[in-house]
Amino acid sequence: MNIETQDVKAGIRKISNSITVKILSIGVLILALLIPAEMIHSIIREREVRHQQVVAEVSDKWGREQIVAGPVLSIPYKVYRQDEEGGEKSRIRTLYMLPEELSVSGTLEPESRNRGIYEVIVYTAKLDINGAFEYPDFTQFQIPEQDIVWSDITLSVGISDMKGISEDVPMTWGEAQLPVEPGVNIGGTVESGIHTDVLLAKNPTDRSMPFDFSLNLKGSERVQFIPVGKTTNLDLTSSWAHPSFTGEFLPDQRNISPDGFQAHWTVFHLNRNIAQTWIDNNSAMEDWAFGVQLFLPADEYQQTTRSAKYAILFIVLTFALFFLMEVSGKQRVHPIQYLLVGLALCIFYILLISISEHLGFTWSYLVSALAVIGMVGLYSKSVLPGKKQGLLVGGNVAVLYGYLYFILQLHDYALLIGSLGLFAILSLIMYFTRNFDWYAIDLLPGKKKPEKQEQGT
């Protein structure tokens, strides 16, 4: 019975010291650590969603994304038809006209608003808008002058968020100063904005009808314009150093520096599928908006999300180093010890996201990395024999965190540098293990080769 018990214990010990069993147990631990890694992803997403909610709340009160459309001239007229009884009925149709020339010149003044620990970037746009319409040829549209409702002609400017208007809008039409009222009449293409009633001369001597007005708009994230002019010129300047030009047209000229940006657009009517004149509805106008977004470079949530994608890779590489030391040094490392090291690596991302909401990403990364490097290095010194192994593990983790930070600072070349790094790491592992006889390796500490017996004994 004692012999059988010893044989069972010897078999269990042999299995527990099998390199195959060890590799499988490490693989199971890595799969198990996917659970806390995914929980970390959920925490980061939750904090990011909360930040987006704060941005939406502040933007809703300050002013959301602004889209400026117009001005558009609306000329109502009557059309007649006969009813079933032979009588004549009339209804109103509207002729819409876009300006021949439109020039917009403005500055964007970015501002920072704080809600708790969250920062929101908003702006105030100061815009000077001018141009001219050409007097319409009503015969082209077969509109008799006597059917035009001259008293209801309006000039409308679409503004996507009316809460952003911070000052009265002085409107000049020709030489007249006109009062501005809320509401638009642009054939259903824009839902909100301002308008003013204008008077058209029935027999003008000058067929050019100039206009001029200023807008002070508060908004968030981006400001866009619809190129309603036959020739539209837009000039924007700002102290924001990270613009992202959005929409259907990129600027013809731009100058971006740490002090801000300047950009100029010229858009012709041939560049967009919008008619200069139309009757009743035209729903394609907002599809041609263009402008600029006050782009935030990868914030702490985006950067932490990117770094968390490398969590499993860090765990695999650190476990691989432990395993190689275990194999080469015959020092046993228990699976629980592997697990603790893996959890320490996961804690890094919790520290990173929580501290970055207060200190910013760079300092948070440094503090979190030093804390985890110290924890893993000191623990490895106790688990593995000697200070050299502990320093090697700590140094390995430090190199990984330094390499990850370098990748996070890249945008266009992050994938390339990451791929080359993985290739280099795998090459090093293959090089240092090229002479391992994996079939002859076991994990029994201090095991010696059996001595050869002399013949004749």
How many Å is the maximal CA-CA distance in the chain?
A: 136
Confidence category of residue 93, pLDDT binned at 50, 70, 90: confident
What value does the mean pLDDT take over residues 318-335?
76
Residue 5 belongs to a domain:
no
Of 219, 221, 73, the closest CA to residue 160 belongs to 219
Confidence of residue 306 (pLDDT cuts 50, 70, 90): confident
- pLDDT over 80 (residue 440): no
**pTM of the shown model:** 0.71
Task: Give the model's pLDDT for residue 432.
Answer: 78
**Which two three-digit tokens encode residue 113?**
């608003």
Q: Do 19 and 162 share a domain, yes or no?
A: no
**Structural domain boundaries enclosing 103:** 64-297
In a domain, 170, yes or no: yes
241 and 369 both lie in a single domain = no
Average pLDDT over residues 391-413: 81
Highest mean pLDDT among 20-24, 234-238, 285-289, 379-383: 234-238
Instruction: Give CA separation, 366 vs 89, 372, 401, in Å.
Output: 78, 10, 9
Whether residue 201 sits in one domain with residue 93? yes
Share of the chain above pLDDT 90, in %: 17
* Residue 37: both structure tokens together: 């890694």
Per-residue pLDDT for 272 more than 60? yes
Band (84; pLDDT cuts 50, 70, 90): low
The residue among 297, 331, 355 that closes a domain is: 297
Strands 66-82 and 222-226, by their bridges, are: parallel
Mean predicted lDDT score pLDDT of the chain: 81
pLDDT of residue 447: 44
398: which residues sit within 8 A by CB, 6+ positions away? 369, 373
Between CA 238 and CA 260 the distance in angstroms is 5
Write down the pLDDT at residue 19.
Answer: 72
* CB-based burial, 122-140: b 16+ in 10 Å, e otherwise: bbbbebebbbbbbebeeee
Q: What is the pLDDT of residues 141-193, one digit of tens each?
A: 888 888 888 888 999 998 988 888 888 888 898 888 888 888 887 766 677 88
Cβ atoms of 144 and 195 within 8 Å: the answer is: no
Q: State how many domains the chain has.
A: 2
Per-residue confidence (pLDDT) for residue 212, from 0 to 100: 93
- 262 C-beta neighbours (distance < 10 Å), count: 16
Residue 98 domain-assigned (yes or no): yes
pLDDT tens-digit readout, 208-240: 889 999 999 998 888 999 999 999 999 999 998
- State whether 128 and 241 are in the same domain: yes
Reference 194, options 222, 217, 175; nearest CA is 217
327 and 375 together in one domain: yes
Calpha distance 159→154 (Å, rounded): 16
Same-domain pairing of 378 and 396? yes
- Answer yes or no: do 272 and 343 share one domain: no
Q: Could you say which of 262, 297, 332 is where a domain stops?
A: 297
For residue 163, the 8-state DSSP code is G
Partners of residue 233 on adjacent β-strands = 103, 266
Distance CA 249, CA 235 (A): 13
pLDDT higher than threshold 90 for residue 40: no
Task: Verify that 292 and 308 share a domain, yes or no.
Answer: no
Is 454 domain-assigned?
A: no
Residue 3 in any domain: the answer is no
pLDDT band at 404 (very low <50, low <70, confident <90, very high): confident
Can you tell me the distance from the alpha carbon of 395 to that of 399, in angstroms, rounded to the nearest whole number? 6
Q: Is residue 457 part of a domain?
A: no
Answer yes or no: is 445 within a domain.
Answer: no
Q: Are residues 422 and 372 in the same domain?
A: yes
Residue 53 lies in a domain: no
Contacts of residue 173, defined as CB under 8 A and 6 or more positions apart, other chains included, come to 155, 196, 198, 209, 210, 211
289 plus 317 within the same structural domain = no
Please indicate, yes or no, whether residues 208 and 357 belong to a single structural domain of this protein. no
Q: Is the peptide bond before 71 cis (omega within 30 degrees of 0)?
A: yes
Greater model confidence, 251 or 61:
251
| Residue 391, H or E segment | helix 387-408
pLDDT-derived band at 408 (thresholds 50, 70, 90) equals confident
Q: What is the predicted pLDDT for the residue at 298? A: 54
Residues 169 and 284 in one domain: yes
Which band of pLDDT confidence, cut at 50, 70 and 90, is reported for residue 329? low
